[in-house]
Chains A and B, each alone.
Chain A
């Protein structure tokens, strides 16, 4: 897997016929059928005073913060659980946890 943006929810259709199921209890690594967006109540808003230090990217347990242009961070709506670690650890107070408006 490459960057965060490569991790996308892919539709999954359970095979109807057992013969079409995996031959063993295994699955392609990185296959994501469901998003975690329903978990969160808060959404991290990245403010303009962000200096792109990258700490939020480092500390996100969900890999839900990606680096955009000039390493300016952005949040991936599918994977952010709204835990607020990024805001807490931001040395510039440049992340504000708001009511979630990204669902």
Chain B
């Protein structure tokens, strides 16, 4: 293991290199480009024995690696924003076909207006596409998630593609020291990048297979039911992989969520991605001031960790009752709330029978690369404290638009 000073994008590239995909195809889009540039270098330098295939669009990038996956090999692609939406059809397609593709997405705002900076509207728009979705907080976690994603995706119980999300620029372009594992360590952790003969969703030279077939109304429902069931059950293999990763590499987080100062927290911010680091800092500050603030970070949005969210907020280990919940995300589902807020609130409904739920406020912040500062997060906690005391608050609050709300 060596410590290198890497950006989030470079950390992803190293994670991919160490996972030894046989085919890499990606179309350039800011802020993802560095990943594919590094991978192209690695292939040219002989550090990665993969076919690096140039493509003419994102749609083709994902369709192409799907063809390669059908040939029974590990693959990688990466995109962002408009590119992710351009390949949207292929996301549903590859998920329905259950190919264990891993894709990195640099979370970036969607046009219009044009904007190349980070927000999470792109991946959240495709939350129902059937891909497992994870969100990295740090470059280190990004590298680790890539390796973990292959182990999860290729697990016979899962067989579902994984989208690893990094906040555009804030994480993709920010440098930090990253532990880069040795190749032998990763080789011992992951199965062979050549899938065994007969692996589901692959051609077979002895017993030819027809893939990506048509199914009539009754049959279609069964395939989709199984896809849903397996996605729900994927939470188990994800935890197993996390635990195995910790044992193997000596670092990591076990579980689809991560709590920080959570068990006695009265005011909790639920969030995802790199902004969690800023929230941690504010939680520490508030704790010194006697405010019982806490953080619940969602590492995975699909499968949605309902049980973990409820345990974190209402579990028996808690020493204090949660008085107010803030859901902080870089997204808005126009006409309702942020997608993550809708997801979290749907999970809270499961807990509604246990008594009155605390108020929950959706903080929509960081759209189009808007900076979210320590002071902003402090204000969010203040709003939560006031809501906990019974003050009426807007349920959806846009950062920077307070004067208009």
Interface residues of A (CB under 8 A from B): 14, 18, 21-30
Contacts and interface: CB of A to CB of B under 8 A. Distances in A.
Contacts of B349: none
Given A18-B222, A18-B225, A18-B226, A24 B208 contact: no
A33 to B, nearest CB: 12
Contacts of A14: 219
A18 B223 CA distance: 8
B97 interface: yes
Contact of B97 (A24, A27, A30): A24
By secondary structure, the A interface counts as loop
Contacts of B3: none
Contact of B215 (A23, A25, A28, A30): A25
Nearest to A19: B226
Contacts of A27: 209-210, 213
Nearest to A1: B208
A23 B200 contact: yes
B208 A21 contact: no
A28 B96 contact: no
Contacts of A29: 208-210
B210 A24 contact: no
A70 B378 CA distance: 90
Nearest to A14: B219
A25 B212 contact: yes
B207 interface: yes
B210 A26 contact: yes
B209 A25 contact: no
A28 B159 contact: no
Interface string B215-230: 1000100110110010
